[in-house]
Amino acid sequence: MLNDSFFLKFIINFRCEALAIFRNYQELIYPILFLILAIVLFPLSLSADPFLLKKISAGIFWVVVLFLVLLMLDQLFQNDWKEGDLEQLILLPNELSFVLFIKLLVFCLTLCASLLLMTPILSLCLFIPGIALKTLYFTILLGTPTLIFLGGIARALTLGLRQSGLLIVLIIIPFYIPVLIFASSAVSLASMGLSVGGPLAWLGVLMILSMSLAPVIISKILRFGIAFS
Amino acid sequence: MKNVLTVEGLAYERNSRLLFKQLTFQLFPSQILHIVGANGSGKTTLLQILTGLRTPLIGKVMWNGISIEKNNINFTENLLYVNHRLGLKSTLNPVENLYLYLSRRNLIHKQSKQKVIHDIYQVLEQLNLRDCSKRLLMQLSVGQQRRLSLAKLLLIKADCWVLDEPFTSLDNAGVAFLSALMEKHSAEEGSIVFTSHQTNYSLSSGIKKIFLDPKPC
């Protein structure tokens, strides 16, 4: 299967999905602004005491990232559904999982890239020490794909509903807890100067599992036609 | 039996209202089926069942004598469904849209890339959309978008066309063009299912018709 035409298809799909997201960049900017504001609020409201913030900053950062992802999940597949693109995709059973994977991957990469750009500034606000910055980057790279791919499942389940925003949140938050625990504990371990191999490895495991299984599950959900009833 | 769409004892219920029951018909190559009905009578729902997007309450849809759930791959390869919501991305331009769709149907290979782009431009020329080929879909008018969805019919070879309200928001020239296209397809042994609420179109060949009753709300 891994021949030229496969790569060509990958590139065409990837390019078109990326273009579709970037031409709709407003939808990306507002959540990022929300992230910045929410994180800046913490030092303002708690106190700008470095010792206090150092203890809780990792948790704060990851909770806010989690809310950001929840905010953005509503957009995932939304346009494809409204424009009837998903219906066309469901009728191409060989392609469905593959295209879904690319859709999620592009979504995830845009989110990761914007998070990575913001992190150095935001970590200053929260007094995350310089030695933990590298680990913070790693947790973002390994953690957000899991959040997005798992979220895709919840999104597919709620596609046909009118008021789906809050329902997605309720469905998916329990599944986000492991990522939250491992990611924030990795960052706080790193800021104490301890080894972070364990939590990062677990994040990697979760990422590989969700990235490989979620597209298949979503394609099954869509093919059952739950979204239509 | 080649390329026969068979529907047996179909029934479907929406919001506890029965849309249709005991619906049985067969569609042979070069036949055209026109589904007529008022708004809300279940035309689109019926098409979604025929394509396999929805599963019927009772009854089954078969392609070449095998149920479309089992015969999935074969059926969808031969099927071209133009849905009501167009199925085109509004943030891409017409060329990108068609190119993406063709690649998803495995019709683009490395050596034929240039040829495919050339074909797309030719089809756009035919549809009078050449000037808009670089504009995003959301900047086109509804009629132009509708025209663009016809480009799929010209670019892809499929035996069974399922068209949801293909004549809406087309101008006279567009309607004539589409009618000619459908007649040509039927002459080439293809079958067509389409919906609309108007009852008569100037298609010269014989058309089967199914009338869906309007449902009280």
Please state the domain extents for chain B. Answer: 1-78+159-217, 89-157
Task: Name which of A80, A93, A225 is nearest B72 (Cβ-Cβ).
Answer: A93
Phi and psi, residue B181, nearest 5°? -65, -45
The answer to whether the Cα torsion of B182, B185, B189, B193 is positive or negative is: negative
**Can you list the pairs that A6-12 forms with residues at least 24 positions away whose Cβ atoms lie under 8 Å?**
A8/B103, A8/B108, A8/B109, A8/B110, A8/B113, A9/A98, A9/B103, A9/B104, A9/B106, A9/B108, A10/A102, A12/B99, A12/B100, A12/B103, A12/B108
Contact A8 B100 (CB under 8 A): no
Phi and psi, residue B61, nearest 5°? -110, 130
Q: Which of A91-95, B25-29, B111-115, B208-212 is the most confident on average?
A: B25-29
Contact predicate B56/B8, CB 8 Å: no
Using a pLDDT cut of 70, give the percent of chain A over it. 97
Contact predicate A94/B103, CB 8 Å: no
d(C-alpha A179, C-alpha A212), whole Å: 17
The answer to whether the Cα torsion of A128, A134, A139, A141 is positive or negative is: positive
ipTM for the predicted complex comes to: 0.86
State the pLDDT confidence band at A229, using cuts at 50, 70 and 90: low
- The answer, yes or no, to whether residue A1 has pLDDT greater than 60, is no
- The answer, yes or no, to whether residue A227 has pLDDT greater than 70, is no
Q: Which residues pair with A136 in a beta bridge?
A: none
End-to-end CA distance of chain A: 35
Task: Give contacts of B53 with chain A, Cβ < 8 Å.
Answer: 87, 90-91, 225, 228
- The answer, yes or no, to whether residue A48 has pLDDT greater than 80, is no
Listed range (A27-41, A58-72, B64-78, B142-156) with the worst mean pLDDT: B64-78
Q: Does B15 touch chain A (CB under 8 A)?
A: no
Q: Does B12 touch chain A (CB under 8 A)?
A: no
User: What pTM did the predictor assign?
Assistant: 0.90
Contact A19 B91 (CB under 8 A): yes
State the pLDDT confidence band at A147, using cuts at 50, 70 and 90: very high
Contact predicate B123/B76, CB 8 Å: no
Contact predicate B190/B108, CB 8 Å: no
- Closest-CA residue of chain B to A77: B89
Q: Name the region of A77 (left: φ>0; alpha: ψ -120 to 50; beta: rest).
A: left
Q: Up-side HSE of residue B162: CA atoms within 13 Å toward CB?
A: 25
Residue A210: per-residue pLDDT = 95
- The answer, yes or no, to whether residue B114 has pLDDT greater than 80, is yes
CATH 3.90.1150.10 fits B1-78+159-217, yes or no: no
Residue B129: per-residue pLDDT = 84
